[in-house]
A and B are shown apart, each in its own frame.
Chain A
Amino acid sequence: MIQHILKLIWNRKASNALIIAEVAIAFIVVFSLLALAIRNFNLYQVPLGYDYKDRWRVQASIPGEWDAERDLVTINQLRAALSNLPQVNNVHLLRNPTFKDWAWTSSYDLGDQTISYMGNHIDDGAAENFGMKLLAGRWFGPQDAAQNYTAVLVSNLFVERYFPEQDIIGKNIASDEGEQQLNHRVVGVFEQFRQLGEFSPMIPYTIFRYDLNSKESRHMAGIEIKVNAGTSIQFEEVLMKQLTSIAPNWEFSIRPWEDSRRSQTRGALLPLIVLSIIGGFLILMVAMGLFGVLWQNVTSRTQEIGLRRAIGATANQIQRQVMLELLIVNAIGIICASVLLVQLPLLGVFSELNWSLFAISMLLASVFMLVLSAACAYYPGIVATSLAPAQALHYE
């Protein structure tokens, strides 16, 4: 029977080519949507690497050029004042904020590989209090002060990607070419710090120790406070008063990390939602097109089906034959599309499309297409076989 079906498919190449093309296009659409959805779902599943609950960012806007000697005095005063508030649990510094599309990236060449990463600066104790996880080495501490090196923490991905199977603790890294000679010494490895939130790609991350007493220290305008659980947003006013009394000519804005996270999630999801709606319509159209083509394909063969029934095929056998034929044609369409799609990971067009994402999207898209086409073929098959053979033979 299989041989008979293959013969038929081959002899009907012209009309089957249309179905194959339709299936291939549909498959590519479904595959793309699935890959996108799965990737984002996977990213969402990966822990952030820190706690955002009850942590508020005080963003200062400092007038004029940054002057470490002058401005760090103010920063220290603000820190001390905020720490003294009973509602505040701890106060730390973080140069680039979380959950904002605001990041510092850098890269340098080492041997034949380019080391690129996202970086940030924090003060002593911040990592612990942010709830980050230490995998090796140690956090920053007073022993790092007034040294001839700057202490650095690197993420596990940084180590895995650039220094696999090496003991990175104690090694030096550079922040960019110009600073190659600077002494950035790795003191610890943390799990991760997904600064840009849940939907951001996984990027090697480094955290530099921020030296509150050095004249070289960079611009720092982010004070992160941990408020006691249940502290209401009204506390903002109290904070604001404190802040402006200490630094009257600085401007401040205060925002809970949770707030930033929410609006960032919304921003990340919106294009995805729009895309899935468009994709949904696309799939619907493709499904309707496929249904039309298959319907046409089966009804145009009503006479043939009548004949087969007249000479001894049961309705079930016909159904099975129609189904099998379409599944084989479908499989050919899927294979054609796969040959095209496999070029993506092969050529590395999208760095995010790794083999496992490719494989799972491929598998799910195939299942989807096969189920869809089986469903599309089922009804015309039923209709075609429900006619008495005498009627089907005269069907025009």
Chain B
Amino acid sequence: MLKLTKISKTFQTDKIETIALQDIDLHIKQGEFVSVMGPSGCGKSTLLNIMGLLDEPSDGDIKVNSQAIESYKDKHITHLRNEKIGFIFQSFHLIPDLKVIDNVELPLLYRNVPAKERKRLAIEALEKVGLKPRTGHYPTQLSGGQQQRVAIARAIVGKPELLLADEPTGNLDSRMGDEIMKLLESLHKNDNATIVMVTHDEEMAKRTERTIRVFDGQLVH
């Protein structure tokens, strides 16, 4: 479903050059639930961003559904992100000026789904994360765990093939973290979602099917 070959990423800031990723070869199969672990600063987020086409690698190839990404031209990439990938971030990234339902609808808005259909799908997604009664609230009126569930609803509303989660429980206490983890597990099991999740928590990693370990920008086997 997603194949990285010899992916490298260097960041150029002023005079310092940071090698964040080096020669990464990675294959994520359809329906897998994968966790990514490693010490802080080792390049996990960078890897996830590149997998999610949010950032351009300095070197290497990416294939999505065995189709190579040839250009990082805005339109092409954006379309892929919108249709195939759902993101969940550590800091939720909800738009505070929009109600829960409007936040969830957002990916569909850029897909030109008609308003009625958007609403139906958003409610469906919110139902899955158990937040249907909160559709009319603003994000600030919700707890952290609820906000993350809204973000998950937003990530799954467009029925993407791949869910990428960067420390989805990093900002939450263990009880809420468990809630989110259960939700991801059920999405994996019931909807056969492919999930890649960055985590610092061994316990969470154990609950996934496979753990990828990153150290200093390289995969450790």
Contact B87 A311 (CB under 8 A): yes
Total count of chain B residues near the partner, CB < 8 A: 27
> Given contacts A7-B98, A311-B110, is CB(A388)–CB(B93) below 8 Å?
no
| B127 to A: closest C-beta gap in Å | 20
Q: Bound state CA distance, A8 and B103, in angstroms?
A: 11
B89: A residues at CB distance < 8 A? 393
Segment touching B, from A48-56, A68-76, A230-238, A312-320? A312-320
| A319 to B: closest C-beta gap in Å | 11
A46 within 8 A of B: no
- Which residue from B54, B98, B107 sits with its C-beta under 8 Å from A390? B54
B109: A residues at CB distance < 8 A? 1, 4
Interface residues of A in 1-47 (CB under 8 A from B): 1, 3-4, 7-8, 11-12
Interface residues of B in 95-110 (CB under 8 A from A): 95, 97-98, 102, 106-107, 109-110
> Given contacts A8-B97, A304-B95, A307-B93, is CB(A312)–CB(B111) below 8 Å?
yes
> Given contacts A3-B115, A388-B56, is CB(A313)–CB(B98) below 8 Å?
no
Q: Bound state CA distance, A316 and B83, in angstroms?
A: 18
B52 to A, closest residue via Cβ: A310
A185 within 8 A of B: no
Contact B93 A303 (CB under 8 A): yes
A8: B residues at CB distance < 8 A? 97-98
| B44 to A: closest C-beta gap in Å | 13
Q: Bound state CA distance, A379 and B114, in angstroms?
A: 31
A13 to B, closest residue via Cβ: B97
1/0 contact string of A274-305 vs chain B (CB within 8 Å): 00000000000000000000000000000110
B78 within 8 A of A: yes
> Given contacts A4-B109, A310-B87, is CB(A11)–CB(B97) below 8 Å?
yes
B102: A residues at CB distance < 8 A? 4, 7
- Which residue from B54, B74, B83 sits with its C-beta under 8 Å from A314? B74
Contact A309 B55 (CB under 8 A): no
- Which residue from B78, B93, B95, B97 sits with its C-beta under 8 Å from A312? B78
Total count of chain A residues near the partner, CB < 8 A: 26
Contact A307 B75 (CB under 8 A): no
A389 within 8 A of B: yes
| B174 to A: closest C-beta gap in Å | 26
A308 within 8 A of B: yes
Which of B54, B78, B154 has the most CB atoms of chain A within a 10 A radius of its CB? B78
B134 within 8 A of A: no
Interface of A is mostly: helix
Count how many pairs of residues, one from A and one from B, have CB atoms less than 8 Å apart in the complex: 61
Q: Bound state CA distance, A249 and B52, in angstroms?
A: 102
Q: Bound state CA distance, A200 and B109, in angstroms?
A: 59
A391: B residues at CB distance < 8 A? 55
A309 to B, closest residue via Cβ: B78
| A218 to B: closest C-beta gap in Å | 76
Contact B82 A12 (CB under 8 A): no
B49 within 8 A of A: yes
1/0 contact string of A61-105 vs chain B (CB within 8 Å): 000000000000000000000000000000000000000000000
Q: Bound state CA distance, A255 and B148, in angstroms?
A: 87
B154: A residues at CB distance < 8 A? 311
Contact A310 B75 (CB under 8 A): no
Interface residues of A in 344-389 (CB under 8 A from B): 388-389
> Given contacts A313-B78, A388-B54, A393-B54, is CB(A308)–CB(B106) below 8 Å?
yes
> Given contacts A311-B154, A313-B78, is CB(A11)–CB(B110) below 8 Å?
no
A390: B residues at CB distance < 8 A? 49, 54-55
A1 to B, closest residue via Cβ: B109
Q: Bound state CA distance, A389 and B80, in angstroms?
A: 14
Contact A312 B81 (CB under 8 A): yes
A311: B residues at CB distance < 8 A? 81-82, 87, 106-107, 110, 154
A3: B residues at CB distance < 8 A? 115
Contact A314 B78 (CB under 8 A): yes
Q: Bound state CA distance, A170 and B48, in angstroms?
A: 96
A7: B residues at CB distance < 8 A? 98, 102
A304: B residues at CB distance < 8 A? 95
Contact B97 A12 (CB under 8 A): yes
| B41 to A: closest C-beta gap in Å | 14
B164 to A, closest residue via Cβ: A310
**A residues apposed to B, CB below 8 Å:** 1, 3-4, 7-8, 11-12, 303-304, 306-317, 388-391, 393
**B residues apposed to A, CB below 8 Å:** 49, 52, 54-56, 74-75, 78-79, 81-83, 87, 89, 93, 95, 97-98, 102, 106-107, 109-111, 115, 154, 158
Question: Considering the complex of A and B, which 6 residue pairs feature the smallest CB-CB distances, nearest first?
Answer: A312-B82, A390-B55, A11-B97, A390-B54, A390-B49, A312-B110
What would 9 more interface pairs be, CB under 8 Å, given A308-B110, A311-B81, A311-B106?
A: A8-B97, A8-B98, A11-B98, A12-B97, A310-B54, A311-B82, A312-B107, A314-B78, A393-B89
User: What are 15 A-B residue pairs whose CB atoms fall within 8 Å in the complex?
Assistant: A8-B97, A11-B98, A303-B93, A306-B93, A308-B106, A312-B78, A312-B79, A312-B111, A314-B75, A314-B78, A317-B110, A388-B54, A388-B55, A388-B56, A393-B54
